[in-house]
Copies of this chain bind each other. A is one copy, B any other.
Amino acid sequence: MQAEIITIGDEILIGQIIDTNSAFIGKALNSIGVSVYQITSIQDEKDHLIKAFKEAEENADIIIVTGGLGPTKDDITKHTLAEYFNDTLVQNDLVLAHVEQLFEKYITTPISDLNRKQALVPSKSKVLMNKYGTAPGIWMEKGDKVFISLPGVPYEMKALVEDEVLPKLVRKYKRPYILHKTILTYGLGESAIAQRIEHIEDQLPKHIKLAYLPSLGRVRLRLSGKGNDEDVLNKDIQTQVENILPLIKDIFVGFEDNNNSIEQIIANQLVKTNQTLAIAESCTGGKLTQTFTQHSGASAYFKGGLVTYATQSKVDILGVDQAIIEKHSVVSEAVAKAMAINVREKLNADIGISTTGNAGPTKGDSDAEVGTVFIGFATKEGAKAFQFNMGNHRERVINKTVNKVLELLQKEIFEN
């Protein structure tokens, strides 16, 4: 059972927006046993759409199209889909009522004919009601194949996939199971890991694949399997995990899955052990705090994050001693420790974490080399700080530092 995702919009091709829809749809389809054969991004141009529809129909059973459903003239997906199916657009009264209701309830400008045209759909289609927006999803079958057109606005698309598309696909098709298990490691390169587990990789059963995903100091090892019996597949993957784990014991930090990123693994452990966290950030500029607070439930363990970006704010807000800063510079082990200790105390948390460093490209308030980062940790047992060089690329320095904090924190809370 294969799918192709077609995302439509000039804004993707000129790099004005990043296509996040495909990843969401890919993951969603995988969860019901559908593989994605290809993702194709094209512009709002009729001939190109028709060509993409044709090619997708040759290779895939399920074709999901996102974007190009807005009310303005640059949006042509609906018309092109109708043409591809030799169909015409007709008014759907349910959609019209829904559009009118949305305007009454949420939108301050009066409804127009352009908005009412959102209720036009191909006559051969089934409508998927879009509770968050005016553009309906469209479901069109051709023999055993199905074309599904969805709005490009991420939260509208997501709701339609979850509430309408997945349940309908599950009813329509018999599908195998696809399972992934991702092992998270820190501190060793992919080729060094590959050498350690070479003999296991060479003997993997045919229905299980291994992939290496290196990123900023981490390598994720993903085992993916496909099969008709979920229990057997689960067991087969588990067997390989148990073969691999003893060989990477020193670098293993946990498993990652759809609902369990590394920060969520840490969050769960903090809640379980009844510990709280407070963060004082400088060079990471709020990214570390946001890594935790982006997930709901953070208030169970997260006390707060103080982004003391300017040097003076480290004194004013965190109460770091001015003399320490003058003696050691603001990017130093001593300041990192003081920040961690003070934020822990000020926010009455069990664990205090700090970052101070030069993310670059210029040196800022310190003479430390660009890329120099100190990470501080404080608990009731005391404080320590670690020094790193994260390279000379601002975004990378920030992200590598966040990853490094997660690595250290994970080790800290699971080993103690």
Closest B residue to A178 by beta carbon equals: B14
Chain A contact residue count (CB 8 A cutoff): 106
Closest B residue to A158 by beta carbon equals: B393
Interface pair A285/B294, CB less than 8 Å apart = yes
- Asked if A298 is at the interface of the complex by the 8 Å CB criterion, the answer is yes
A9 vs B38: C-alpha distance in the bound complex, in angstroms?
10
Given A210-B74, A285-B293: A14 touches B180 (CB 8 Å cut-off): yes
- Copy total for this chain: 2
Grouping DSSP codes into helix (H, G, I), strand (E, B) and loop, the A interface class, with mixed when no group exceeds half, is mixed
A13 vs B302: C-alpha distance in the bound complex, in angstroms?
34
Given A15-B25, A26-B15, A39-B13: A191 touches B112 (CB 8 Å cut-off): yes
Contact of A309 among B213, B299, B360, B365 (CB under 8 A): B299
Which one of A37, A73, A348 has the highest number of Cβ atoms from chain B below 10 Å of its Cβ?
A73
A393 vs B156: C-alpha distance in the bound complex, in angstroms?
11
- Asked if A27 is at the interface of the complex by the 8 Å CB criterion, the answer is yes
- Asked if A40 is at the interface of the complex by the 8 Å CB criterion, the answer is yes
Contact of A299 among B13, B180, B211, B364 (CB under 8 A): B364
- Asked if A124 is at the interface of the complex by the 8 Å CB criterion, the answer is no
A2 vs B27: C-alpha distance in the bound complex, in angstroms?
31
* A/B interface sample: 19 pairs, CB < 8 A: A14-B36, A16-B180, A17-B23, A18-B23, A37-B42, A70-B190, A70-B212, A72-B212, A74-B211, A114-B191, A155-B395, A285-B298, A286-B289, A286-B293, A287-B294, A289-B307, A304-B307, A305-B307, A306-B317
Give the interface of A toward B (CB within 8 A).
Answer: 9-20, 22-28, 30, 35-44, 48, 70-74, 107, 109, 112, 114-115, 132, 153, 155, 180, 182, 188-192, 194-195, 201, 209-215, 220, 222, 224, 279, 285-290, 292-294, 296-299, 302-310, 312-313, 316-317, 346-348, 359-362, 364-365, 391, 393-396, 398
